[in-house]
Structure 1
């Protein structure tokens, strides 16, 4: 970082800055001083630079206000972290999409259009893993929204961004694609589409997670190829039978379901999808009366025991779900990247 006096004079020439890489910019402030911004360079436009900080905030700095700039090394990860096989954000999101496949899909360039009639956001959104198949971004957004509306879904985009992904080849492969995603994010934000449902993707090594749950016993965990009535009642209590939701649960190339029976139904359940070499955990739920008995760990152990020799495990957890995040941290899972959705606001009622 740079520190010190107020800054005057014309802006100096800027060095070449890597799109998608980490940079630090020093820029003028309205009071005549200067301040620094550190983060991922998501836009290098003729009139401004845009940097996304570690917390997700987007800083647009006019080029004429930039005093100095330089690239910085990737953020150093905690020593000893074993975050799972090295994989880029886009490749991992493509694998996760296979674990939860919508009944209606289409492609536009690096966009995967999905619709399940708004049963879930993930299955009813456009997964952006780069740019569309046209240079006209506004037209592509309009066409994707029309496609979603025609299938009973709210126009919505899933926007991944790198946070904890490893450096090196995987990060370099993501850089250009995630720059396109950031540009899409800016377009949707300008349209007034709110950012909703922030989520963190965690990864780890299967063996390490199995070591963390060792000694818990099987707790009477049942494994089945399809969810039974007790499993469904705990995950979606009171929800009516729905063939679309039922189809989502068995939409992966392979999946297995786990349940621990309790006195009045299932006490704990979970789902494991096998997709593109990953063991993907979803729908891990423990009944309130059965918590703090180690059932979640027992379910995870039983499911991963059925994963064969797949080396990596991945899952998604809502940013606001502190108990689940604490559980997964205790299992050795670490942040890989994050995503959120931008969705078209509902029209005001008459």
Structure 2
């Protein structure tokens, strides 16, 4: 087999890249280790930056998203049983869109089906070969048969545990990591959201987040111990703890119900440099991870896709390598700014073990500054709606 680009990873970033390349007449084959049903069964955040919304439009896959997504022009921050609002449009003239990542992924799969793009599911033993030459190829097993795809480029969109990052020699890679000493216990419930906007809460008992997927599907989180187990939490225990952490006005109107899904997500920041090695390019979680505070994971992957799509289009249209030559530098410049925002927001809203009385006072002072300063709110709003590409 031969194609122009092999995309390793059939999640939303790999699918979005494939659709954008299709629009430019560039052929790509997508390889996915899991089944399609497994990919669509993942529960992920659903706050989309303006840049990702624009890319979905550029890919021609935004019709359902526009019809069913919820435009949010602000968010709520709570502390000490008080709450204030950060208005995105006032400070940035931009908004975010609440639309489940599962639904976005489904839209991308449906679009790929319509184009006839080749996607191989449940592939095993994927190996990226000769990426540091002009003739890379990818081998894999599927249904007991060994396959080889010759290509011009490989896009590694296969997440932190995939093969793409590890293909870059350890002597070339430099990795940066911060592991946070707490996690998020999340519950998905078939209940109306407690508020039309997201509520981020810093309470004496720890962080909480009230989010949503749609008008009848809510997603709630509470900070928990790093080594906790979701099985330790009954539904009633979760709802009781959530009520204690959000403002009384929200707690009084909270509608609860059985948990459709309950899980604990660890929090970590991770970046690997560079994001390019020869003709292999890393995108999304293969290169970087952010804590979920502010929902930057998928959105940062989308910015990688934007830069790589531009570079590959430039190469095939004009035989110009400038875009792919500067891909890692441009992508990382934005990645580190996003990492900074997620780190700042996480430290602002969570309680860390061993946090001193001074540390707590600094948190409260920072929250008061955010509440009272238009300039501080403008900085947060700019980062929340998404830095420009």
- Shared fold (TM-score greater than 0.5)? no
Higher helix proportion, which one?
Answer: 2
Structure 1 length normalisation: TM-score?
Answer: 0.27
Query: Which has the larger Rg?
Result: 1
Structure 2 length normalisation: TM-score?
Answer: 0.26
